[in-house]
Amino acid sequence: QAADSKREQFRRYLEKSGVLDTLTKVLVALYEEPEKPNSALDFLKHHLGASAPENPEIEALRLEVAEMKEKYEAVLEENKKLKTKVTVY
């Protein structure tokens, strides 16, 4: 009976933390694949990895990329304005 209680607590923990829902979604996606992958385990790893919490380094790089895109757009705009001022002979 103690083992059943521990199992039930663990099941509630998995349910509360969203693990059961995530696993169910990935398994359903695998089930619905028209052509089953050679490695079901690789499929699961790929799809679970995609929904894993972000690595702080990845998030920092994303922020850096966003900043660089903004700077790039500003430079393009400045370039466009300067080209209109320049008279080519």
In this prediction, residue 1 has a pLDDT band, given cuts at 50, 70 and 90, of confident
pLDDT value of position 4? 85
8 A C-beta contact, residue 22 and residue 48: yes
Q: Is 48 exposed, middle or buried (0-12, 13-18, 19+ CB in 10 A)?
A: middle
Do 48 and 78 lie in one domain? The reply is no
Half-sphere exposure for 38 (CA within 13 Å, toward CB): 0
User: ∠ CA 38-44-45 to the nearest 5 degrees?
Assistant: 105
Do 69 and 27 lie in one domain? The reply is no
φ, ψ of residue 86 in degrees (nearest 5): -80, 135
Give the domain range for residue 60: 54-88
* Residue 78 pLDDT greater than 90, yes or no: yes
Over the chain, what is the mean pLDDT? 88
Do 48 and 63 lie in one domain? The reply is no
- Does the pTM surpass 0.85? The reply is no
In this prediction, residue 88 has a pLDDT band, given cuts at 50, 70 and 90, of low
